[in-house]
Chains A and B, each alone.
Chain A
Amino acid sequence: MNTQTAQNIELPGGFAANPVIIKGEGAPVVYLHGPFGQEWDGFLDDLAKYRRVYAPANAGAQETDDLDQLDGFADLVLYYDDLFDQLGLERVDLVGHSFGAMVAAEYAATFRDRVRKLVLIDAMGLWHDDAPVADHLLVSPQNLVKLLYLDPSKPEVAAKLAMPSEHEAMNAAIVDRFGALASTAHFIHPIPERGLKRRLRRIKAETLVLWGAQDALVPPSYAAEFAALIPNARVEMIQGAGHVPQIEQRKLVSEQLAKFLDRN
């Protein structure tokens, strides 16, 4: 859950302000979340120890009417370009998870000089009929947990899944999740593939592809394909993790990020 204080960043074009969570000091890193909503998990605290981390909400998650002005990824990457301008960020390192990694890859392929380093964690965006990406939207809560986590009984997973017990906070959490799922489904339902494969060759940023080795939502076989299509990329598989390795294997993910982002 998002327990951090966010700064409302105004945007041009009539869009609602984006509540960006900002923490830490150092060179900027932007984190783009997956389909379930804006988040600030422990691995971002680890990152904020040496970098300034910006974690925005997906476009349209606050105000679903904003989606009427966003027809596909061509509009969405411009939205983030505006947001980076508003944040005063010239060049960024970009970390994306799941849907957010698909956005990050599209952004890096479009604004190829504005991204210094790129990290894709269990990224959506590619599709092969023999390795279908599972449906995260039209699925029961019980089955969704199985798609997302290798071991839902782990305390860190249970903590991630817990809902606030207080009535108003719970309703607010449900509404947040509604906005996040709606605003991401807007771009990827029913299949999260929009031609990214043709554009990955344009990415100039050095890229790290991280993948939960037991991901049941987006099959790990896509990791190698991302690395093959992006000119300067390598893969690190995270053992003992499903679709959300930063929760199930926070330490391993944080070590990989530190090694990759801290090097220069």
Chain B
Amino acid sequence: MKTIWFHMQGYRDLPDDFRDRYESIWVTPPNDELCHSPEVAKYLHWNLDELEMADDLGFDGLGLNEHHQNGYGFPISPNMIATVLARRKSNAALVVLGNTLPLYNPPIRVAEEFALLDCLSGGRLVAGFPVGSPMDTTGCYGIPPTQVRPRYYEAHDLIKQAWTRPGPFAFNGRFTKLRYVNPWPKPLQKPHPPIWLAGGGSVETWKFATDHDYTYSYLSFMGHKYAKVLMDGYWDSVARAGMDDNPYRAGFAQLVVVADTDAEAERIYLKHLRNFYSKSLYVAPHFGGVPGFMTKRSFEFQLSHRGASAFSFDFKPHEATWKQLVEDSRMVIGGSPATVAAQIEEAVRNIRVGHLMVILQIQSMDPELTAYSSGLFAEKVLPKIRGIWDKEGYTDRWWPQGATRNQPQVAHPSTKETYGEAKVPA
């Protein structure tokens, strides 16, 4: 299994009475009241320090994403942060999950920047293509909800063609019209960097994944018990498409906290977990559930299946107990290294995941605590979970060709052909 150290890049010091004063963590939390540039200047260096630390600790990949106007995570352009990381001598994957395609105009920009990153990093890039959240697309960037998916599909086609067809060629889309598609450069990886989809469980995205043989990552903060129904739905659609059950077709994000003992973990981390769940997930429903973001048919389906989830919970996040968060709901995986390793194995086998994105920096945690948790994870958990799925003999066809860390020592033939082994950073 691959373990990716994922940084959400949130605002670490939100006021305690945030929920009482503001309607939402996303779209409208007023910047002048809440987002102080000197603090952000500090966080940005911390974020990069932490990502570089994770690289040094030997994680298989470093994960970044794109969000806007919110305290939960405002990485804005993950490509800018990834560029800093791409300069390091490293063999870890750079998992940019991803660029929110409908927000780029024209979207050829994504083809260019990802190609640049792929070249700079020596073919270590994962090209993530998320549709985007209603908050980012319809809320922050003003795209009519009914146009988000159509723009997404068109941008995808343009980028894929830009990477695989000889330029220049004309692209006549509904939203983007380009007479000369001819990006310099094309990606180092051939035919192109692995494309990963990410989403919150929409049926359309599953179908898109199987139509194109992409891997799909479910990004939730609710843990594997909650995710089970949705991930079963994804695996059913994979089976219906006649594809194999390779666990590397799936990724999953998981909050993890590690300490020497279970009790110590509760003592250290509970306040950070409460802070995260009470503030970061505090998205106003009118920003999260915008009419038209899904088709009317999907909405009707969802409405008629409301309450069908096998798992539900009702808790007040600011006073949630360790037992609720970790033991009962498994929203968070936490405790001693032995506990964490066992729970991760249970989780990834339950929902069949090959790419695990671990979130070890949880909003209000400072760099020292993040380093402590990540260090224990790298030293005592990683060795135990790295071999998951090895016995079954699955290969990861969605891993970047230049990301050779912990990989079989055979260079990918197409990578070798393209730029030779000597140029791959070791």
Question: Contact residues of A with B, CB < 8 Å?
Answer: 60, 63-65, 67-68, 71, 137-141, 171, 174-175, 177-179, 181-183, 185-191
Q: Does B174 contact A (CB under 8 A)?
A: yes
Closest to A62 in B: B296
Q: Are B300 and A175 in contact (CB under 8 A)?
A: yes
Q: Does B348 contact A (CB under 8 A)?
A: no
Question: Contact residues of B with A, CB < 8 Å?
Answer: 23, 27, 138-139, 142-147, 150, 174, 284-287, 290-292, 295-296, 299-300, 303-304
Q: Are A186 and B23 in contact (CB under 8 A)?
A: no
CB distance from B309 to the nearest CB of A (A): 17
Q: Are A138 and B296 in contact (CB under 8 A)?
A: no
Closest to B175 in A: A71
Q: Are A185 and B292 in contact (CB under 8 A)?
A: yes
Q: Are B138 and A178 in contact (CB under 8 A)?
A: no
Q: Are A63 and B291 in contact (CB under 8 A)?
A: no
Q: Are B296 and A175 in contact (CB under 8 A)?
A: yes
Extra inter-chain contacts (16) besides given A137-B291, A138-B138, A185-B292, CB under 8 Å: A64-B292, A67-B146, A137-B286, A139-B286, A140-B285, A171-B300, A175-B296, A178-B292, A179-B291, A181-B292, A182-B146, A185-B144, A185-B290, A185-B291, A186-B144, A186-B292
Q: Are A179 and B296 in contact (CB under 8 A)?
A: yes
CB distance from A140 to the nearest CB of B (A): 5
Known contacts: A138-B27, A174-B303, A178-B296. The answer to whether A189 contacts B291 by CB under 8 A is: no
Closest to A135 in B: B286
Q: Which among B143, B174, B291, B300 is the interface contact of A182 at CB below 8 angstroms?
A: B291
Q: Are A140 and B295 in contact (CB under 8 A)?
A: no
A-B CB contacts (within 8 Å), total count: 72
CB distance from B290 to the nearest CB of A (A): 7
Instruction: Provide the residues of chain A in CB contact with B142, threshold 8 Å.
Output: 189-191
10 contacts across the A-B interface (CB closer than 8 A): A65-B295, A137-B290, A138-B27, A138-B287, A140-B285, A141-B286, A181-B291, A182-B146, A182-B296, A189-B143
Q: How far is the CA of A138 from the CA of B287 in the complex (A)?
A: 6
Q: Are A140 and B284 in contact (CB under 8 A)?
A: yes
CB distance from A205 to the nearest CB of B (A): 29
Instruction: Provide the residues of chain A in CB contact with B295, threshold 8 Å.
Output: 64-65
Instruction: Provide the residues of chain A in CB contact with B145, threshold 8 Å.
Output: 182, 185-186, 189
Known contacts: A64-B296, A138-B287, A140-B286. The answer to whether A171 contacts B303 by CB under 8 A is: yes
Instruction: Provide the residues of chain A in CB contact with B146, threshold 8 Å.
Output: 60, 64, 67, 182-183, 185-186
Tell me if A's interface is mostly helix, strand, loop or mixed: helix
Q: How far is the CA of A191 from the CA of B295 in the complex (A)?
A: 22
Instruction: Provide the residues of chain A in CB contact with B296, threshold 8 Å.
Output: 63-64, 175, 178-179, 182
Q: Are A71 and B174 in contact (CB under 8 A)?
A: yes
CB distance from A188 to the nearest CB of B (A): 8
Q: How far is the CA of A176 from the CA of B142 in the complex (A)?
A: 23
Instruction: Provide the residues of chain B in CB contact with A190, threshold 8 Å.
Output: 138, 142, 144
CB distance from B150 to the nearest CB of A (A): 6
CB distance from A17 to the nearest CB of B (A): 15
Q: How far is the CA of A183 from the CA of B295 in the complex (A)?
A: 11
CB distance from A101 to the nearest CB of B (A): 19
Most interface-central of A60, A141, A174, A178 (chain B CB within 10 A):
A178
Instruction: Provide the residues of chain A in CB contact with B143, threshold 8 Å.
Output: 189
CB distance from A192 to the nearest CB of B (A): 11
Q: How far is the CA of A194 from the CA of B40 in the complex (A)?
A: 37
Closest to A168 in B: B304
Instruction: Provide the residues of chain A in CB contact with B286, threshold 8 Å.
Output: 137-141
Q: Which among B139, B147, B174, B299 is the interface contact of A138 at CB below 8 angstroms?
A: B139
Q: How far is the CA of A112 from the CA of B111 in the complex (A)?
A: 46
CB distance from A228 to the nearest CB of B (A): 29
Closest to A70 in B: B146
Q: Which among A139, A141, A178 is the interface contact of B291 at CB below 8 angstroms?
A: A178
Instruction: Provide the residues of chain B in CB contact with A188, threshold 8 Å.
Output: 144
Q: How far is the CA of A139 from the CA of B23 in the complex (A)?
A: 10
CB distance from B43 to the nearest CB of A (A): 28
Most interface-central of A64, A65, A171, A181 (chain B CB within 10 A):
A64
Q: How far is the CA of A227 from the CA of B91 in the complex (A)?
A: 68
Known contacts: A138-B138, A171-B303, A189-B145. The answer to whether A68 contacts B291 by CB under 8 A is: no
Q: Are A68 and B150 in contact (CB under 8 A)?
A: yes
Q: How far is the CA of A185 from the CA of B139 in the complex (A)?
A: 12
Q: Are A138 and B290 in contact (CB under 8 A)?
A: yes
Instruction: Provide the residues of chain B in CB contact with A65, threshold 8 Å.
Output: 295
Q: How far is the CA of A77 from the CA of B279 in the complex (A)?
A: 45
Q: How far is the CA of A181 from the CA of B286 in the complex (A)?
A: 12
Instruction: Provide the residues of chain B in CB contact with A181, threshold 8 Å.
Output: 291-292
Pick the 10 closest A-B CB pairs, nearest first. A182-B292, A181-B291, A190-B142, A186-B146, A189-B144, A178-B291, A64-B296, A182-B291, A67-B146, A186-B144
Q: How far is the CA of A170 from the CA of B176 in the complex (A)?
A: 40
Instruction: Provide the residues of chain B in CB contact with A186, threshold 8 Å.
Output: 144-147, 292
Instruction: Provide the residues of chain B in CB contact with A191, threshold 8 Å.
Output: 142
CB distance from A141 to the nearest CB of B (A): 8
Q: Are A175 and B27 in contact (CB under 8 A)?
A: no
Q: How far is the CA of A140 from the CA of B24 in the complex (A)?
A: 11
Most interface-central of B146, B174, B287, B295 (chain A CB within 10 A):
B146
Q: How far is the CA of A178 from the CA of B27 in the complex (A)?
A: 21
Instruction: Provide the residues of chain B in CB contact with A71, threshold 8 Å.
Output: 174
Closest to A171 in B: B303
Closest to A186 in B: B146
Instruction: Provide the residues of chain A in CB contact with B138, threshold 8 Å.
Output: 138, 189-190
Closest to B145 in A: A185
